[in-house]
Structure 1
Amino acid sequence: MIIGKRLSGRYEILRVIGSGGMSNVYLARDVILERDVAVKLMRVSMANEEQLVRRFRREAQATTQLMHPNIVDIFDVDEDHDNHFIVMEYIAGMDLKAYINHAAPLPLSIVVRMMLQILSAISHAHGQHIIHRDIKPQNVLIDAEGNAKITDFGIAMALFETSMTQTNTTLGSVHYLSPEQARGGVATPKSDVYSLGIMLYEMITGILPFDGESPVAIAIQQLQSPMPLLSDKVPDIPMSLQNIVMKATAKESINRYSTVEEMKEDIATALMPSRINEAPYDIHSADYSETKTIPIQTATIKDKIADIEGLETNKVDEPIIDQKKEKKSNKKVNKKRRWLIIIIAFIAIAGIVGSYFYYTSQKTYAVADVTNISQQAAIARLQKDGFRIGKTTEQNSDKVEKGYIIKTDPEAGEKLKKGDTIDLFISIGKKEFAIDDYRGKNIDDVKEELEKAGFKKVTTTPVNSDEIETNEITSQSIQKGLKIVPSETTIELEFSSGPAAITLKDLSGYNKSSVKDYATDNGFELTTTDEFSDKVAEGQVISQTPEAGTAMNKGQALAVVISKGVEKPEKTIDRKLTIKYTGDEDVAGDPTKEDEEDEGNDSSSSEKEKTSQNIKIYLKDKTHKISDVYQSFSITEDHDVTLSFVLDAKTEGAYIIERDGEKIEQDTVVYE
């Protein structure tokens, strides 16, 4: 059990993270540098093959010179008690095969970005005279940032050459195997180009182009079967990407990219608009014209050559003609026979010529496929094939570039005689749409109109407005009058969502005056009520409706309860008063009255009758109003009176005393 062991006293094996035909891969800890690494450990059964071990070590050591951000770094190549292993950079992620299975079909932008990284890495390796020989998604790791890193440079070749007879040895790679490798030839940089083309096809479609029940069946397809078109699986695929796949996977290596760097330069511009509808790549017909066999071993190839040589040497002997007899026979031919032969020959030739002209006049030719090429090039091609150009019709097209052929009538592939007429349908590009002024119109109506017109995206943004009606458009990102292609255009519309909502404050601690100011400033309809409270100070807010944090609009109602403080019990307060009598003083002090009394009363009396004074008392408390007479009586002398006030904490008492209609005293009484 290798888990837990330490190789070379340095690499502590933690767990298995992968396995292959010749090795297992483990997560390990480099106890010296204190970092996680990946350790690829050769299987024990493979370690007994001396040639394989030498190739394993030699080619692994060779790849240590590859310093590239998209190549997995190799830190060490070592052996510990017949355990041959390679120490590599640990990538915490998944391989490209798992990534494709998880996310296929991949967005084309991601496909191009990853392929540029992979091609850059392979190009660097080729520059160091190292051919990968086993490019496949399983040998491409994807890190946490989505970057691609190539692994297993050259190691797969060691297994392929040494253990070709082992069961299923080529199963993992045969789907990506180049035709020259499948027929037993030597791998070249163009073999890597082929594998990259197969992998690009899989990244775009999520499936492999060739599959079968056995490795041999798949290899035969690599040799014989035409490469499937990307457009059969992804109808709207840019022609540029289809061309790249077709060129990279040409059966004959001469028709492929000359270098990986050339393929990289081509894919770097694949998504440019000018290349979306470029002319299809036309591989030379010889690439698929012959049925090919799959001679995997050298002996098989020799047997095929021997078969061909045998056919050439087993010729049938031709009879020998007696020249003397022939000469005598010729002399016997008379002159009349010669003329007969000449006439017959002439008639035969005339018949052949006539038949030829008749045949050629009736012969039909297939209409060439001129779609997606320029009008000028299409006309030249059709006229070269002997056809006449009929009428041309211009049409909008979302798929065919302006000035290029949409279709022909009759269509491509139909059989016509030379001189027949073919009508052309020319693209005038995508249908354009004239932008209107949408301001003041209803947002829902305009959005529906634009979506029906085929806009790529219609974004709507609400904005507050005190002046514009709710749901009316306030602005647009594209001005009126511009003509655009809806499917390529995003338009942004802003519309009124009404006045800005006001987030209601927490009015705790406000007094009635400050609450009124707040309501006035924000346009709220305020109502206040008073309640006793033993928790909130008198005059401050007890509660509010709606609660704090509510979004409010102008004109909405705001109700506030104000504290009257702690409620005090009702009680009676007595006030004792003395009302002075002033009647006698008034009479004694008037000498006129005394003279009158003396003259009118002859019999002077010792005692005089006192004049009464009318007293009225007004009182205010919880049960009396100050406007009502509380008590009314007359006095002839000083008079004591007790006034009882029924009061509570919020009621103030008051009284007024009048004597003969004249106010002689008033005061207030407060709750204590």
Structure 2
Amino acid sequence: MIIGKRLSGRYEILRVIGSGGMSNVYLARDVILERDVAVKLMRVSMANEEQLVRRFRREAQATTQLMHPNIVDIFDVDEDHDNHFIVMEYIAGMDLKAYINHAAPLPLSIVVRMMLQILSAISHAHGQHIIHRDIKPQNVLIDAEGNAKITDFGIAMALFETSMTQTNTTLGSVHYLSPEQARGGVATPKSDVYSLGIMLYEMITGILPFDGESPVAIAIQQLQSPMPLLSDKVPDIPMSLQNIVMKATAKESINRYSTVEEMKEDIATALMPSRINEAPYDIHSADYSETKTIPIQTATIKDKIADIEGLETNKVDEPIIDQKKEKKSNKKVNKKRRWLIIIIAFIAIAGIVGSYFYYTSQKTYAVADVTNISQQAAIARLQKDGFRIGKTTEQNSDKVEKGYIIKTDPEAGEKLKKGDTIDLFISSGKKEFAIDDYRGKNIDDVKEELEKAGFKKVTTTPINSDEIETNEITSQSIQKGLKIVPSETTIELEFSSGPAAITLKDLSGYNKSSVKDYATDNGFQLTTTDEFSDKVAEGQVISQTPEAGTAMNKGQALAVVISKGVEKPEKTIDRKLTIKYTGDEDVAGDPTKEDEGDEGNDSSSSEKEKTSQNIKIYLKDKTHKISDVYQSFSITEDHDVTLSFVLDAKTEGAYIIERDGEKIEQDTVVYE
């Protein structure tokens, strides 16, 4: 049982999605790239047949050469325990056969669009020397956008490897098989042209042109029966499409399109109004295009000659003369008459031809609308109308396919004479944009630049990084140097959002020291302030900014308020002090001067004196500075003072006492 098995340890088989003569196709999951793929697996019963294995491998080798938007991509070719398989692009849709059965009759605009895609793909394959050999609707897949993708080059082979189709083996579906293949002849690119013509017939009518009870009966019809006319099934079909089918399905390959590209150019203009009623295709005509001849008015020339000859009928009676002389004279007359007739005829023909060319040189013709068709088809059409092709200029276009005509100069509808020159403006496709290396650049600047360039979508993804500067681009989904169409492209950019965010803790209950440690460990810029609080114990956190739970990055600011406890009211504190006097207590008079000059003074007593001491007091409280003198006085004895300090919980009091300039006491006073 293959379902559920993993081939080469990578491709997990999910379900069957198709089968063919030599292989089955499965939907699988690429577990490495995480995408759905289609796996074409050779049937086990054939795996031991060497010839079939070689054909299977040849299919893979041939198809891997083909890189085209309308050809299914091949991702891998491998073998797992004698299981030979090819890994292909998975197209989530139906094949063209199912699409025809579901939607027939198809609108002609859809038929032409799909055929142009199919023809473009087959033309690419032929350019790689590969013939498909099995073109049929079952081998054309239709994706979700309605685009055609060709698959199953299973019986294709390189031209240089092909000489003859085996006469005893019919490859391909007989309904679409070319006559030369049916008779066992060489398969050429024109064989694919025949199959494409049959498929085009089926897309338009919904039925096959040849059918029968057996493959042999159908093959005989392919060889002998004339191709049915589209108009028999679809009466209002444009003659251009019927002509294309008839030319593509001619029994003899020499009468078909010489290349698929030629058929593509023809079908590109099939729905143009000027081609709808064109002349039917004549298989015996050397030129498919309409042939025009210049009519020569011979009747007029004959009339001129008759007029000359009519002179002989108007003879008058003449005397009889010598017969010899008469014959001689008649010869001269006849000779002159012949020359006269020739000259008159020449003049008549020259006049007629000259009149024709003068008339045609003066006649004007409207420039055909060749926009949105290929360059080759446009040139062929304009040259057919008698115009010359001038300059060709390539321009970018978001609306016109690459290689197709954007406009002409003069424009469509303008009147020109035959031989006039028309310039062509050819689409070089949508404008491409060269991707730069955006790593290291600012994400906002690059996003703006890409949006201005017209990108379909610019997605940005932040990535945490401790090393890369914030907003600096770290990676991009499209590498430098690739040229893409912005309007069809989504680009993804990753950029640094800085270090990973840290969820801020609730710092309630932390003291100032703990808060500092927390801020340092996480790289925050900390600021603290103190406030009184009658709810939070002194020294602990009252509040924080930002609040707890906020996502923080390194370097961000964190502000914390620390409690100073309950606020205390202002009050006056008195301090009573005694300042000691340390000077001499008694000062006696000089004894040498006793009674000197005092004779006659009857008193002998001495006078006692004390030396004063200077006191300065300095005080600090809410209203005084310690540098200012609070009180100053002199003492001659011990002196009591009362110092009054105005304090609150924030202010500490202090005092200093000096005696004669010497500090004798100092102390502090605290709020109690």
What TM-score do the two structures reach when normalised by structure 2? 0.42
**Greater mean alpha carbon deviation, residues 559-568 or residues 596-605:** 596-605
CA 345–543 in structure 1, closer or farther in 2 if over 3 Å, else same: closer
Task: Measure how far apart 1:52 and its partner are.
Answer: 1.7
| Structure 1 residues 137-186: Cα deviation after superposition (integer angstroms, max 9, x where no partner) | 00000000000000012436799999999999859710000000000011
Distance 1:66 1:334, change over 3 A: closer
How many residues are matched? 672
Q: Distance in 2 between matches of 1:8 and 1:483?
A: 35
CA contact (8 A) 1:168 1:215 kept: no
Q: Taking structure 1 as reference, are residues 118 and 565 closer, same or farther at Cα in structure 2, changes over 3 Å only?
A: farther
1:203: how far off? 0.1
8 Å contact 2:464–2:496 — kept in the other structure?
A: yes
Which one is further off, 614-623 or 483-492? 614-623
Q: Given the superposition, is the C-alpha separation of residues 49 and 171 from structure 1 closer, same or farther in structure 2, using an over 3 Å criterion?
A: closer
State the Cα distance separating 1:405 from its structure 2 match: 33
The worse-fitting range, judged by mean Cα deviation, of 199-208 and 646-655 is 646-655
Q: Deviations over 1:575-607 (max 9, x none)?
A: 999999999999999999999999999999999
Secondary structure of the structure 1 residue equivalent to 2:78: strand
8 Å contact kept, 1:224–1:288: no
Change in CA separation of 1:484 and 1:44 when aligned onto 2, cut-off 3 Å: closer
**Could you list the per-position Cα deviations for residues 440-477 of structure 1 after superposition, in whole angstroms to 9, with x for gaps in the alignment?**
99999999999999999999999999999999999999
Deviating more after overlay: 570-579 vs 262-271: 570-579
- 1:652 is displaced (CA, Å) by 77
Check conservation: 2:622, 2:646, Cα contact below 8 A.
yes
**Cα deviation per residue 1:528-559 (whole Å; 9 max; x = unaligned)?**
99999999999999999999999999999999
SS in 1 for 2:157: helix
Residue by residue over 1:190-228, the C-alpha shift from the partner in whole angstroms, topping out at 9 and shown as x without a partner, is 000000000000000000000011111100100000000
Contact 1:163–1:169 (8 Å) recurs in 2: no
Cα distance, 1:80 vs structure 2: 0.8
CA distance 1:525–1:119, shift in 2 (3 Å): same
Aligned to 1:470: 470
Q: Choose 372-381 or 425-434, whichever is displaced more.
A: 425-434
In structure 2, the CA distance between the partners of 1:221 and 1:388, relative to structure 1 (3 Å rule), is farther
Q: Is the 8 A contact 2:459 2:492 kept in 1?
A: yes
Partners of 1:152 and 1:304 lie apart in 2 by 72
Distance in 2 (CA, whole Å) between partners of 1:516 and 1:412 is 82
Distance 1:629 1:425 in 2: 102
Deviates more, 1:423-432 or 1:107-116: 423-432
Q: CA distance change for structure 1 residues 434 and 519 in 2, over 3 Å: closer, same or farther?
A: same
Kept after mapping to 2: 8 A contact 1:40/1:87: yes
Query: Matched residue of 1:381: which SS?
Result: helix
Q: Contact 2:167/2:184 (CA < 8 Å) preserved in 1? A: no
Residue 300 to residue 666, structure 1, CA distance change in 2 (3 Å): farther
Inter-partner Cα distance in structure 2 for 1:317 and 1:637:
198
**Do the aligned partners of 1:626 and 1:654 also contact (CA within 8 Å) in 2?**
yes
Segment of structure 1 superposing worse, 585-594 or 427-436 = 585-594
- Matched with 1:491 is 491
Specify the alignment match of 1:618 in structure 2. Answer: 618
CA distance in 2, matches of 1:215, 1:90: 31
**Cα distance, 1:187 vs. partner?**
0.7
1:58 deviation in Å? 2.1
1:205 to 1:464, Cα distance in 2 relative to 1, 3 A: farther
Q: 1:514 to 1:397 in 2, by over 3 A?
A: same
Identity %: 99
- CA deviation after TM superposition for structure 1 residue 357, in Å: 42
- Kindly tell me: are residues 480 and 246 of structure 1, through their superposed partners in 2, closer, same or farther at Cα, counting changes over 3 Å? farther
| CA deviation vs aligned residue, 1:8-52 (integer Å, no higher than 9, x gap) | 111000000011111110000001111000001111122121022
- Please give the alpha-carbon distance, in whole angstroms, between the structure 2 residues aligned to 1:609 and 1:151: 137
Kindly report which structure 2 residues correspond to 1:72-151, keeping only aligned pairs within 5 A, or say none. Answer: 72-151=72-151
8 A Cα contact 2:589 2:607, kept in partner: no
- Rounded to whole Å, the distance in 2 between the matches of 1:63 and 1:479 is 27
1:274-312 alpha-carbon deviations (Å, 9 max, x no partner)? 000000001129999999999999999999999999999
* 1:382 Cα offset (Å): 30
Consecutive unaligned residues of structure 1, counting only runs of 5 or more, are: none
Q: Is the 8 A contact 1:279 1:373 kept in 2?
A: no
In structure 2, the CA distance between the partners of 1:71 and 1:551, relative to structure 1 (3 Å rule), is closer
Partners of 1:295 and 1:301 within 8 A in 2 = no
Deviates more, 1:389-398 or 1:45-54: 389-398
Counterpart secondary structure, 1:583: coil
> What RMSD, in angstroms, separates the aligned Cα atoms of the two structures?
17.4
Q: Does the 8 A contact of 1:406 with 1:425 survive in 2?
A: yes
Structure 1 stretch displaced more, 435-444 or 40-49: 435-444
Once residues 11 and 483 of structure 1 are traced to their aligned partners in structure 2, the CA distance between those partners, rounded to angstroms, is 32
In 1, are the aligned partners of 2:266 and 2:377 still within 8 Å (CA)? no
**Is contact 2:58–2:157 with CA below 8 Å preserved after alignment?**
no
Moved more, 208-217 or 312-321: 312-321
Distance between the aligned counterparts of 1:365 and 1:137, measured in 2? 42
Residue pair 1:22, 1:159 contacting (<8 A) in 2 also: no
Q: Is the 8 A contact 1:459 1:492 kept in 2?
A: yes
Partner-residue secondary structure (3-state), 1:21: coil
> CA 1:469/1:603 → structure 2, altered by over 3 Å: closer, same or farther?
same
Alignment partners' CA distance in 1, 2:542 and 2:577: 42
Distance (whole Å) between structure 2 residues aligned to residue 309 and residue 150 of structure 1: 74
> Which 10-residue stretch deviates more, 14-23 or 533-542?
533-542
Kept in 1: contact 2:281–2:288 (CA 8 A): no
Contact 2:301 2:348 in 1 (8 A): no
Q: Deviations over 1:46-97 (max 9, x none)?
A: 2121022112102312211211000000111111111111100000000000
Unpaired runs of 5+ residues, structure 2, are none
CA–CA distance in 2 between the matches of 1:43 and 1:320?
Answer: 112
Aligned residue in 2 for 1:185: 185
CA distance in 1, matches of 2:133, 2:320: 58
- 2: distance between equivalents of 1:155 and 1:318? 95
Residues 394, 246 of structure 1: alpha-carbon distance in 2 compared, 3 angstrom cutoff: farther
Report if aligned partners of 2:585, 2:609 keep a CA contact under 8 Å in 1: no
User: Does the residue aligned with 2:657 lie in a helix, a strand or coil?
Assistant: strand
Distance 1:311 1:184 in 2: 73
CA contact (8 A) 1:182 1:294 kept: no
Q: Mean alpha-carbon deviation: is it higher for 269-278 or for 384-393?
A: 384-393
Q: 1:55 to 1:512 in 2, by over 3 A?
A: closer
Is the counterpart of residue 316 in structure 1 residue 316 in structure 2? yes
Bigger shift: residues 522-531 or 351-360: 522-531
SS of the counterpart of 1:287? coil
Change in 2 beyond 3 A, CA 1:617/1:456: closer
Return the alpha-carbon distance in structure 2 between the equivalents of residues 420 and 479 of structure 1. 49
Moved more, 328-337 or 517-526: 517-526
- Please give the secondary structure, in 2, of the residue aligned with 1:595: coil
User: The residue matched to 1:460 in structure 2 has which SS?
Assistant: strand
Q: Is the 8 A contact 1:223 1:294 kept in 2?
A: no
Provide the rounded CA distance (Å) in 1 between the counterparts of 2:286 and 2:604. 170
Q: What is the alpha-carbon distance in structure 2 between the residues aligned to residue 111 and residue 633 of structure 1?
A: 123
Q: Distance in 2 between matches of 1:650 and 1:553?
A: 36
Question: Contact 1:388/1:422 (CA < 8 Å) preserved in 2?
Answer: yes
> CA distance change for structure 1 residues 454 and 95 in 2, over 3 Å: closer, same or farther?
closer
Q: Within 1, Cα distance between the matches of 2:147 and 2:219?
A: 31
Alpha carbons of 1:628 and 1:592: their partners in 2 closer, same or farther (altered >3 Å)?
A: farther
Classify 1:327/1:413 alpha carbon distance in 2 versus 1 (closer, same or farther; 3 Å): farther
In structure 2, relative to structure 1, the CA distance for the partners of 1:549 and 1:611 (3 Å cut) is: same
Deviates more, 1:158-167 or 1:369-378: 369-378
Alignment check: 8 A CA contact 1:27 1:38 kept: yes
Q: 3-state SS of the aligned residue for 1:286? A: coil
Q: Using the TM superposition, name which of 150-159 and 578-587 deviates more.
A: 578-587
1:264, 1:651 → 2: CA distance? 101
Distance of aligned partners of 1:599 and 1:440 in 2 relative to their CA distance in 1, 3 Å threshold: farther
| Distance in 2, Cα, partners of 1:353 & 1:305 | 17
Report if aligned partners of 2:164, 2:186 keep a CA contact under 8 Å in 1: no
What's the TM-score once normalised by structure 1's chain length? 0.42
